[in-house]
Structure 1
Amino acid sequence: MYVNGEWILSNSGEYFTVNNPSTKEVVAKVPKANAEETKAAITGASDALKKWSLLTAEQRAKYMLKLRDLMLEYTEELATIMSMEMGKAYNEAKGEVVYAASFLTWYAEEGKRIYGETIPASAENKRLFVIKQPVGVVAAITPWNFPLAMMTRKLGPAMAAGCTGIVKPASQTPLTALAFAKLADMAEIPKGVINIVAGSTKAISDELFNNSAIKKISFTGSTNVGKELVRQSANQLKKLSLELGGHAPYIVFEDADIEKAVEGVVASKFRNAGQTCVCANRIYVHKNIKEEFAKLFVEKVKELKVGNSLAEGVDIGPLVNESGLEKVKEHVEDAVEKGAKVLYGGAEVKDASGYFYIPTILDNVTEEMKIMQEETFGPVAPITIFETDDKAIDAANNTEYGLASYIYTKDISRAVKASEALNFGIVGLNDAMPGVAQAPFGGMKESGYGREGGHQGIRDYLEEKYISLGL
């Protein structure tokens, strides 16, 4: 692990294994961090904070851009590591490296735009000011499905604001985080600014939440875990940013460009084998165009190549582990038992060495099926029909989640009204891939709170200080 600028082993001598989901083979053994190593990382970050926070925004930006350049230089190596440990198709993994680097580019510049205020005083002998300062040492708990991009989306604004941090990567994907730390070392980022500890989730998390030096924690993961972290944060009133589960509706209105709508849903639903919290999970198609939409959808999905994530030309790799595969199978079986029709797929890949499931399209799906109530996190696309705009919006909003949503229509009035009516933090309007570094990303309801990306993403890493000066 990478602690205070040094590569260290676990004091306990314990390791945990990382498996390739395409082959089920062990690809690495990683030192297992516990509370002791986490405490050392926090101490290192606290010591580094004093100097890092006093650097100018331009000085911090130079470090960040050097790290960005190294990420892009080593795109193929990072993509290979990512693909091996979590099964993301290699070309898609290369795309994630570029996306991850964009957050360092954006926040290296955004750090230069942290402005204060001068407020008109209510007395002649006073002057009133507001300044913004880094919140302090922060922690990032990152997910396995986007192991690099979710890290820079958190560390980018933190570093730009003058904070130092500790990253706890998912146990499935520590190698990507450690490779990033290697590049940070090569970029000569001052020791303690970035620390990586992977291992015992409870021991690390407990130390992060109980240690008063940690002022803010950013978490991406499941809603259930997010709720538990809210409870843990209450003891010290730590700042929290939570990007939690999603169950994105994908609404195709009668006047939509069907070809574009199909291309969009293929890109959204089957990216990362359906293992994204913003992918299209509930596909609502107007009854008058459903047959045409479904026919073209099947044709496009048949063209997708499933296989070892490192193999050439593969579009869809494996599910990350056995439990992920079992959940997909459970949702499909439940839907079929309740009357859904399999238009394509509907089974795991036979005689596969890893956790592969055929990209699947289900028709005649109804709201009582599990797949319409729970986040599947797999390559299964359920289609259901609607008759009126209001019914489509009501069905889309009928979920505890509120992260991403999608609309396809050519009618500008319908587009505006539907976008405003959807209770989701993100609306992709004729756009299935809305995520970019310069725009805010986050959810409503039980999909969490706080925003990452855009100028909004740096706010939670700053404290506003009011200064009243008597003359």
Structure 2
Amino acid sequence: MSLQSFQMYINGESCEAVSAARFDSMDPSCAQPWASFPDANGDDVDIAVKAADAAFNGRAWRSLTATARGKLLRKLGDLISENGEQLAQLESRENGKLIRETRGQLAYLPEFFYYMAGLADKIEGETLPIDKPDMMAYTVREPIGVVAAIIPWNSPLYLTAIKVAPALAAGNTIVIKPSEHASASIVALAQLAEQAGFPAGVLNVVTGYGPSAGSALTSHPLVRHIAFTGGAATARHVVRASADNFAHLSLELGGKSPQIVFPDADIDSAVNGIVAGVFAASGQSCVAGSRLLIHESIYEEVLQKVADRAARIKIGKPSDADTEMGPMTTEAQLNIAENMVATALEQGAVLRHGGKRPDVNGGWYYEPTLLECQSPTDTLMQEEVFGPVAAAIPFKTEEEALALANDSRFGLAAGIWTRDIARAHRLCRDVRSGIIWVNTYRVVSAMAPIGGFGDSGYGREGGIDAVLSYTEKKTVWINLSSEPMADPFVMR
């Protein structure tokens, strides 16, 4: 079978790696190679970063007004909308996400570019009410410089959009290193940026592996901001790599997000929310609601309904319109899910559904899996699976539910299911998570910040916070007095 061949995108041109090396990408639905990409190393990264730095300092980009930048972002959003089907097909092919989901994401993705386009010329400074009558002081916000964006494989276009759109709105340039498992849709996005009219070097894509291309990018001395989405272990390498040049960091990492179900909840809605939170996208979501904390009075009812719904989930090819759960993106991630379920069973967990690999087209599939754990300290209650595996445990009181929810080093998301509005507000205040959904789950908006606490990272993507995070504040002092300066050895 012939492979589709893709190139990198650097300084406004499609190109091969300096070494001419390439690697194959696998189709997870059948475990067969489908595409080939340049295998970048430090030399390629250096070329891309220097191109981004030259563009940042060049007249074509720097001379654009903020309003003009916003118009380019809006044009890119339009092009994403016009090419949505092609982008959706690419992403579904490369990472196994359902075509129905990638189409849904692509239908909304332009909104991130439209929203950030609107913010581009609203990045404002302040006039300070300074306490020195002969002085005036004000602040301005300026772009940081070259941004490195490290993108994982689970939702590459979405996770690229929430980095690229605010970074460009603020006037920065960017080098994107997508996952070696899902690079095609990002290369296609770069080509749309060219069509939108972005100057050469403003947006660049290098393809390759983390230890070579990724490490070279995050440690490059010209990189001023690193936007990373991925696992905590890799993030620690990124933090260390950034130390030499003190690059700004935004880290959106994993989670072990709780879904807390109280007796007064709409049980059927809660069940649907649990299914959406942990089985949609085959559980390959940073915000997966994989810890089920259920009140003891409804514990068995909820578990049985979740198990029954899991049993009806249609597993199949992501390209089929009626498929509800596709494959895991990588064989390594499939093995992790399988091993963690085995460990849970060794620790005394009770399997309520799933726990096996279904035979679907030879691909990397895993059944939606539900287990009852014996203790909140069990491995499955503490460690992220990044697969369709839910761990459940009962609670007696609201106080116990809160303690269980916060018994985690992660803090990315949480779901609260209750009709008691006072209880909902109490828990929204006290649960240590960056995103909390009440009587819903897995909802996103271009206007809403995304980010976590603890091992789930720091910094925010989405909303005006994201744009401001790609700027640096400068303070300007102006002497209004016509008198000569006084004693130069005394601070004013």
- TM normalised by structure 1 equals 0.97
User: Which residue in 2 is equivalent to 1:9?
Assistant: 16
Residues 18-77 of structure 1 deviation map (CA, whole Å, 9 limit, x = unaligned): 100001111111011111111111121112113323311211111111111111111111
Farther-moved stretch of structure 1 (243-252 vs 430-439)? 430-439
Pick aligned residue for 1:44 from 51, 55, 70: 51
Q: State whether structure 2 residue 37 is matched by structure 1 residue 34.
A: no
How many Å separate the matches in 2 of 1:346 and 1:165?
42
Give 3-state SS (helix, strand or coil) of 1:217's partner: strand
User: Which residue in 2 is equivalent to 1:22?
Assistant: 29
Q: State whether structure 2 residue 369 is matched by structure 1 residue 354.
A: no
Pick aligned residue for 1:135 from 134, 140, 144: 144
Q: State whether structure 2 residue 128 is matched by structure 1 residue 152.
A: no
Pick aligned residue for 1:334 from 343, 351, 371: 343
Give 3-state SS (helix, strand or coil) of 1:308's partner: coil
Kept in 2: contact 1:318–1:356 (CA 8 A): yes
- Amino acid of the structure 1 residue aligned with 2:231: S
User: Which residue in 2 is equivalent to 1:270?
Assistant: 279
Q: State whether structure 2 residue 97 is matched by structure 1 residue 91.
A: no
Pick aligned residue for 1:398 from 407, 427, 436: 407
Residues 148-186 of structure 1 deviation map (CA, whole Å, 9 limit, x = unaligned): 011110010000000010000011011111111121122
Residues 305-336 of structure 1 deviation map (CA, whole Å, 9 limit, x = unaligned): 11111122111110111111111111222223
**Any residues of structure 2 matched to 1:337-416 within 5 Å, and which?**
337-350=346-359, 352-416=361-425
C-alpha distance 141-410 of structure 1, shift in aligned 2 (>3 A): same
Q: State whether structure 2 residue 431 is matched by structure 1 residue 431.
A: no
Kept in 2: contact 1:100–1:153 (CA 8 A): no
User: Which residue in 2 is equivalent to 1:279?
Assistant: 288
How many Å separate the matches in 2 of 1:308 and 1:170?
22
How many Å separate the matches in 1 of 2:254 and 2:374?
22
- Amino acid of the structure 1 residue aligned with 2:283: G
Give 3-state SS (helix, strand or coil) of 1:45's partner: helix
Residues 236-264 of structure 1 deviation map (CA, whole Å, 9 limit, x = unaligned): 11111111111101100121111111111
Give 3-state SS (helix, strand or coil) of 1:107's partner: helix
Kept in 2: contact 1:365–1:382 (CA 8 A): no
Kept in 2: contact 1:53–1:163 (CA 8 A): no
- Amino acid of the structure 2 residue aligned with 1:260: S
Farther-moved stretch of structure 1 (331-340 vs 286-295)? 331-340
How many Å separate the matches in 2 of 1:124 and 1:292?
70
| CA apart distance, 1:351 | 5.9
Give 3-state SS (helix, strand or coil) of 2:225's partner: strand
Pick aligned residue for 1:240 from 227, 249, 273: 249
**Any residues of structure 2 matched to 1:179-218 within 5 Å, and which?**
179-218=188-227
Pick aligned residue for 1:124 from 133, 137, 147: 133
How many Å separate the matches in 2 of 1:124 and 1:361?
68
Give 3-state SS (helix, strand or coil) of 1:148's partner: helix
Farther-moved stretch of structure 1 (64-73 vs 115-124)? 115-124
How many Å separate the matches in 2 of 1:347 and 1:207?
39
How many Å separate the matches in 1 of 2:383 and 2:219?
32
C-alpha distance 238-449 of structure 1, shift in aligned 2 (>3 A): same
Kept in 1: contact 2:277–2:290 (CA 8 A): no
How many Å separate the matches in 2 of 1:166 and 1:355?
31
Kept in 2: contact 1:99–1:149 (CA 8 A): no
| CA apart distance, 1:270 | 1.2
How many Å separate the matches in 1 of 2:16 and 2:196?
22
**Any residues of structure 2 matched to 1:292-307 within 5 Å, and which?**
292-307=301-316
| CA apart distance, 1:303 | 2.8
Give 3-state SS (helix, strand or coil) of 1:280's partner: coil
- Amino acid of the structure 2 residue aligned with 1:372: M
| CA apart distance, 1:343 | 2.3
User: Which residue in 1 is equivalent to 2:330?
Assistant: 321
How many Å separate the matches in 2 of 1:61 and 1:434?
26
| CA apart distance, 1:210 | 3.7
How many Å separate the matches in 1 of 2:231 and 2:171?
29
How many Å separate the matches in 1 of 2:62 and 2:164?
14
**Any residues of structure 2 matched to 1:254-265 within 5 Å, and which?**
254-265=263-274
**Any residues of structure 2 matched to 1:102-121 within 5 Å, and which?**
102-121=111-130
Residues 191-248 of structure 1 deviation map (CA, whole Å, 9 limit, x = unaligned): 1110000113233234334433211111001111111211221111111111111110
Specify every segment of 5 or more residues in structure 2 that has no aligned partner in the other structure, as ranges: 1-7, 481-492
| CA apart distance, 1:418 | 1.0
Give 3-state SS (helix, strand or coil) of 2:326's partner: coil
How many Å separate the matches in 2 of 1:207 and 1:338?
41
User: Which residue in 1 is equivalent to 2:85?
Assistant: 76
Residues 361-396 of structure 1 deviation map (CA, whole Å, 9 limit, x = unaligned): 223553243211210111122221111111111111
Q: Report the aligned-residue RMSD.
A: 1.4
How many Å separate the matches in 1 of 2:405 and 2:259?
8
- Amino acid of the structure 2 residue aligned with 1:64: L
Q: State whether structure 2 residue 317 is matched by structure 1 residue 308.
A: yes
Specify every segment of 5 or more residues in structure 1 that has no aligned partner in the other structure, as ranges: none
How many Å separate the matches in 2 of 1:152 and 1:351?
32
Kept in 1: contact 2:373–2:381 (CA 8 A): no
How many Å separate the matches in 1 of 2:455 and 2:352?
32
How many Å separate the matches in 1 of 2:414 and 2:12?
41
How many Å separate the matches in 2 of 1:256 and 1:271?
21
How many Å separate the matches in 2 of 1:70 and 1:275?
27
Percent of aligned positions that are identical? 37
- Amino acid of the structure 2 residue aligned with 1:79: A
Kept in 1: contact 2:96–2:318 (CA 8 A): yes
| CA apart distance, 1:352 | 4.2
Kept in 1: contact 2:124–2:140 (CA 8 A): yes
| CA apart distance, 1:404 | 0.7
How many Å separate the matches in 2 of 1:39 and 1:160?
24
- Amino acid of the structure 1 residue aligned with 2:270: A
Say how many residue pairs are matched: 471
How many Å separate the matches in 2 of 1:406 and 1:200?
35
C-alpha distance 364-38 of structure 1, shift in aligned 2 (>3 A): closer
